[in-house]
Structure 1
Amino acid sequence: MVLLSERGGGDWLTLLLYHVLGPPGERGVSVQRPPTGPAALPSEIAFLLAEGVDGRLLVRAAAAAAAAGTDAATALLNAGLIAESAYYEALARALGAPYLDGPIPFGLGLRFPDSLVAGLAPLAPGSVSPWVLAPRGRAIADLLDAPGRAPCRAAMPAITSPTRLREAVFAAIPEQVADHAAHDLRRRAPERATAPEPALRWLLVLALAVTAALCLCAALPPPLARAVVIAGQILFLAMAALRIAALAIAAPVEPEAVAPLAEADLPVYTVLVPLHREAAVVPDLLRALSALDYPAAKLDIKLLLEADDAETASALPRDTLPARFEVITVPPGGPRTKPRALNAALPLARGALLTVYDAEDVPDPGQLRLAAALFARLPARTACLQGRLVIDNAGDSYLARVFALEYAGLFDVLNPAFARCGLPVPLGGTSMHLRTAVVRALHGWDAHNVTEDADLGLRLALAGYTVGDLPSPTFEEAPARLGPWLGQRTRWLKGLVQTSLTHGRRPLDTARSLGGLETLCAVALVPGTVASALAYPVCLVAAAWSFLVLEIPAAPAFLDNLPTGLAITLFGTGLAALVLPALAGCARRGWGDLAQSVPWMPVYFLLVSLAAWLALIELVRAPLRWNKTRHGLARTSRSGRRARRGRPATPCDTARGPDGGACASA
């Protein structure tokens, strides 16, 4: 499509069609040479000189835009050099168009997300104009540079700011927004969405199938029954061995080995941050997001609030946040889950890449640059990069300490190994970096799944995409007390059951789509995690009774001894699969002091088992309940990057502190 600045005439109908059909937000912009004075200012900011804006600020914005390869208006607004409302009011005056700042009287044809994606919405008959327009990026220069603009001012659309348009659309059609966020996946890909039927039905079917299988095994002749038992033991042994095999895979490339992209080559990056009752950590969150080492003109940070969360809303300094921060209040509706909030913001994401952070996260400042560089050199089928989640408050309690060990094994050992092999990876709910187009093609997150990260990881694998490793830490706060930890882990395991039931409705089709080894990995990481947690206490007690009280009989024939031998092997392999990744993770992070707590892990997994049984109960009684975890309670910080309760974060006393290593405060 030919740009408007290259057209002859001032046909505003053509202009409106351009804004409806053309991509909004950041467009392809050639890198400009930095201007040397006000006369060289780009048109999208040059008109501000007549409004009395300091020319030095405009020159600064133009230079930043030239360096980043973007437009000067976005650079000016995202850097906070001018308020968004002031800019668009001045733009309306420059265009000779009405400016809408108060209520917007929309007409027929208002749609979510189409009207916001286009930045164009119809106005009611009798309004100041048939349309209201909220232009972004290069579209602003196209408007200002359109030949013949002045004679057609009577037909010109009204102007408003993108924030005002979005707030007005959300207020005018909240039901459409809520319906899209909650049900778009179910409408477009019902086979990949959580079933609307009660989970009790599926659990009963599963229980009946297991009972029938056990009865059938009991009725089989002894040789055949033994063969079935051995086959089951080998399957579980293979799943445990998969975790141990990850230890032998070499550590992935380190950040220093990745060539960074030039600023002009960096893509626009969207950061989604769902917030719910998080007023206590808002200051720390804003500091962490402001510290991201990424061009401000290419950042699109969206803070997502629930409609009834007045406390968090009041903690956000909306009036002083630069335009790269956008506060979005999700319309009320069900289910009240994190993925529903993400779905409401996904259509509005302007970045080619996006990531999700939780409220308490402190990502490494260079994480976005590293992810962009890795995506640029990886094939398109690598749709996601999983960052390294690091528990930072391990010194708060024994529970937090073992939680940190568990995360070290998962995110520093298992996930990188599975990613190198192209196997399904259990995504974390945060610091997962995604190609925006792929997430949209998969219709976003499952709003009815309370462990949306695991579900998305499996859907990526089923669609033929792979997940890569992002060797960049994000420091998190773990629950230090049993009650909050149990609620959080119950929700996670409940979501794994939901994911298992969703993608297990057609097990043969799922296995065919994944492949053999990929299916084994997915079974081990999703339903296998829940099944092993449920069975862990029984197996532990049975093994202790057999080893410590009873004598293990020796049969004269090898085949008769094989089930007993495999049971002993499976017990030892299972314990090793729990402990060894954590030890390897400690070694890679230099956590010698935490490695001493590894013997507590068998006791810790008894608590995981309790959470698994509670998850089954909650899945029947309250499948959509989101057990909220309070943040901002940490008393220690290994890295020194997180604020601690009672005093701000300070650097650790040891050289390894900033990298998550040993810290005296822990």
Structure 2
Amino acid sequence: MAAAPRAPDNDNCHHGFDEGAADELDCLRGVLAPRLLQQAEIRARELGIGADQVLIRLGMIDEAAYLRLLSRHTGMAIDDLSECDRSDVMLRDDQITYAAASGLVPLHRDGERIMVIAPRNYSARAICRAKRSINIDFRLTSDYALRRFLLQEAAAPLIEESTRGLGLHDPAMSAAPAFAAARPWRGRFKRGAAVFAIATLPPFLFPAIWGAMLAVWFLAFTALRLATCAFLRQRHAAAPVLDDQLPNYSVIVALYREASSVAPLVLALEALDYPREKLDIILVVEPDDLQTRAAIARLGTKPHLRMLVAPAVAPQTKPKALNWALPFARGSFTAVYDAEDRPEPGQLRAALKAFRAHGREVACAQASLCIDNETHSLLSRMFTVEYAGHFDVMLPGMTAMGLPLPLGGSSNHFRTAMLRTVGAWDAYNVTEDADLGFRLARFGYRSVAFPSTTFEEAPLHLDAWLRQRSRWMKGWLQTWCVHMCHPVRLWREAGGRAFFTLNIVAGGNVVTALAYPIMLYAVIDHMVFSRSERSIDWATALHVAAFAAGCISTVALGGLGMMRRRRLRDGWILGLTPLYWICLSTAAWRAVWQFIWKPYHWEKTEHGLATRRTTDPAPRLSARRSQRQPHR
């Protein structure tokens, strides 16, 4: 397998380098109060990072001001990289992402070799201790200057990596178009011909066999869902992670037309029970979304929060925005959230506990998603029950069974190095999360569900729900086509469990929705229009069994999920399951049409329309954080 290049560790220096005094504070003696420096050193020892990072990330001193003082103290020059261009960088295009991740840029300028470093973690301490023995010409730069330089002078390889990186490393793993944009009709013709051949010829030539295959597929899908109900959510014992052992944690959120969601989102992320000095929040916006950019600017300067503007190139999708941010992620772990998310305060620590409990081969930990709308429509109520069954029952059950997980699009927690290894997200897949779950399995990695909740907002109206669900169905279809394009290779790389899980879950989600009208017609025809003396044939019996099993599995999964959420009083909505499936089938057929004509079109889901429960975790954490942070 042609794996994507593996990125180095995110920090300039080793995490364990914490011996002795905080020499990086020497340049601040006489500038900041001695008590503040003492508190910063104590806090740095507690967290296992440099004391300079404590002061900078808490806003006690500006990074540029600290670099000026460090430069004067060490004699090391500051280089803002304004006089450099791409030809000065001693890195190939495929190595540019390493510079963004590590904060190190090797230059060759005026016949000299220069190493420019944006200090992170213990870098400043190492520089102070080695200032008299460094032979190479080291220069200091700020993180902002480094990022500006890379985005200006090395934008082309970063754009290529964010849009077609996966396709370049392994084309068979990506849903990217195989034909040039100037000839889109060829791709449409191929997709249309494939859909026509699969959906029309077998039913016409072998109607009974085709109908039986659909019913069996439906039964297999419902059987897997019922099987997951037998597993209780496992509580793995793992030692709590102490503050000095906590890694840097990046949080990436892709935003588009979410100006009203920015302030509540940042408030929720800042309420996470995680040291602010080790939290790295990246908000990615689109170039034409001026309102969201203005909303972020109104938040003011926050050392732990950065905004990146995604490039104005196709496709304009969430996975492309996530790929654009990933090279700049400083964390050893990376979490992905959506604009409307409200994660529980302890989620990052709970994710780390799950990684420790399940072993080093786990690349992703998936938290549960829960709908918290208070202004419910019938659709949003059904959405709530559906999420409870999927995230609180099915995914934990699949984890216990050792199956690959169809990841949700939010509250995914990754080992950053492993995420980079597998090629990150497919910018052309509109359900990049589900695709990534199966791709991780093909690389030998595991995904697990863990008990922590992120609260989300469900669509209230049919048109919004239909757009969102059609995109999901289209993405499932893309994912199935990509991984089943070479079934023998899939079996060899991922094994039989992953092979059948892909076909039952990814294929089953679409096929069952498409086939539902056929089975519903067979059931109604037998129960209403058939004569009483007419004996039931085997095909009709199979359709009736599939319909009944589907209803039973949906009620069992949703009811058990709502019971675990202690909201069983809302379970009455499951009585509308047959009608809800008609909506799902409509979305699936709409997705097939879009798969042919607009395969990479991302239909935006509007947020901020519903009244939600007011759960502000910040006050509970304020006292604890005030004890941890250094005081003036």
Identity within the alignment, % = 36
Q: Bigger CA drift: 106-115 or 375-384?
A: 106-115
Match of 2:287 in 1: 307
- 3-state SS in 2 of match to 1:108: helix
Which is higher, the Rg of structure 1 or of structure 2?
A: 1
Match of 2:175 in 1: 194
Of structures 1 and 2, the one scoring higher in RCO (CA 8 A, sep 6+) is 2
Match of 2:265 in 1: 285
Conserved? CA contact 1:31–1:264, under 8 Å: no
Q: How does 1:163-562 map to 2 (within 5 A)?
A: 163-197=144-178, 198=187, 200-209=189-198, 211-217=200-206, 233-253=215-235, 258-317=238-297, 320-551=300-531, 555=535, 561-562=537-538
Match of 2:48 in 1: 69
Change (3 A) 1:125 1:253: closer
Alpha-carbon deviation of 1:81? Answer: 2.1
Alpha-carbon deviation of 1:323? Answer: 2.4
What TM-score, normalized to structure 1?
A: 0.83
Tell me the distance in 1 between the aligned counterparts of 2:62 and 2:507. Answer: 50
State which of 612, 615, 619 in structure 2 corresponds to 1:641.
Answer: 615
Conserved? CA contact 1:65–1:71, under 8 Å: yes
Tell me the distance in 1 between the aligned counterparts of 2:133 and 2:293. Answer: 41
Alpha-carbon deviation of 1:293? Answer: 0.6
Asked if 1:595 corresponds to 2:595, the answer is no
What TM-score, normalized to structure 2?
A: 0.88
Asked if 1:119 corresponds to 2:99, the answer is no
Alpha-carbon deviation of 1:361? Answer: 0.6
Alpha-carbon deviation of 1:577? Answer: 2.1
- 3-state SS in 2 of match to 1:355: strand
- 3-state SS in 1 of match to 2:307: strand
| Partner deviation per Cα, 1:447-490 (whole Å, 9 max, x = no partner) | 11111001001111222222211110000111112222221111
AA aligned to 2:63 is E
Unmatched runs of 5 consecutive residues or more in structure 1: 1-19, 34-39, 219-224, 644-648, 652-666
Tell me the distance in 2 between the aligned counterparts of 1:168 and 1:277. Answer: 27
Tell me the distance in 2 between the aligned counterparts of 1:156 and 1:319. Answer: 38
Asked if 1:572 corresponds to 2:548, the answer is yes
Tell me the distance in 1 between the aligned counterparts of 2:446 and 2:300. Answer: 40
Root-mean-square deviation (CA), in Å? 2.9
Conserved? CA contact 2:214–2:512, under 8 Å: no
| Partner deviation per Cα, 1:417-436 (whole Å, 9 max, x = no partner) | 01110112110001111122
Tell me the distance in 2 between the aligned counterparts of 1:22 and 1:624. Answer: 33
Change (3 A) 1:617 1:214: closer
Conserved? CA contact 1:418–1:425, under 8 Å: yes
| Partner deviation per Cα, 1:58-114 (whole Å, 9 max, x = no partner) | 222211111112221222222222222222232223233443458453351435223
Alpha-carbon deviation of 1:185? Answer: 0.6
Tell me the distance in 2 between the aligned counterparts of 1:570 and 1:118. Answer: 54
Unmatched runs of 5 consecutive residues or more in structure 2: 1-6, 179-186, 621-632
Change (3 A) 1:231 1:477: closer
Asked if 1:583 corresponds to 2:583, the answer is no
Alpha-carbon deviation of 1:631? Answer: 1.6
Across the two proteins, how many residue pairs are aligned to each other? 601
Change (3 A) 1:499 1:64: same
Asked if 1:136 corresponds to 2:120, the answer is yes
Alpha-carbon deviation of 1:252? Answer: 2.3
| Partner deviation per Cα, 1:276-321 (whole Å, 9 max, x = no partner) | 2211111111111111111223222222222232221221148844
AA aligned to 2:191 is W
Alpha-carbon deviation of 1:508? Answer: 3.3
Tell me the distance in 1 between the aligned counterparts of 2:108 and 2:456. Answer: 48
Tell me the distance in 1 between the aligned counterparts of 2:235 and 2:29. Answer: 49
Alpha-carbon deviation of 1:529? Answer: 0.6
Change (3 A) 1:315 1:380: same
Conserved? CA contact 2:280–2:329, under 8 Å: yes
Change (3 A) 1:270 1:543: same
Match of 2:624 in 1: none
Change (3 A) 1:185 1:132: same
AA aligned to 1:142 is A
Conserved? CA contact 1:195–1:502, under 8 Å: no
Conserved? CA contact 2:218–2:512, under 8 Å: no
Tell me the distance in 2 between the aligned counterparts of 1:425 and 1:592. Answer: 26
Tell me the distance in 2 between the aligned counterparts of 1:104 and 1:300. Answer: 28
Conserved? CA contact 1:239–1:521, under 8 Å: no
AA aligned to 1:264 is D
Conserved? CA contact 1:132–1:160, under 8 Å: yes
Tell me the distance in 2 between the aligned counterparts of 1:21 and 1:233. Answer: 48
| Partner deviation per Cα, 1:480-537 (whole Å, 9 max, x = no partner) | 1222222111111111111111112122332444444433322121121111112223
Change (3 A) 1:22 1:108: farther
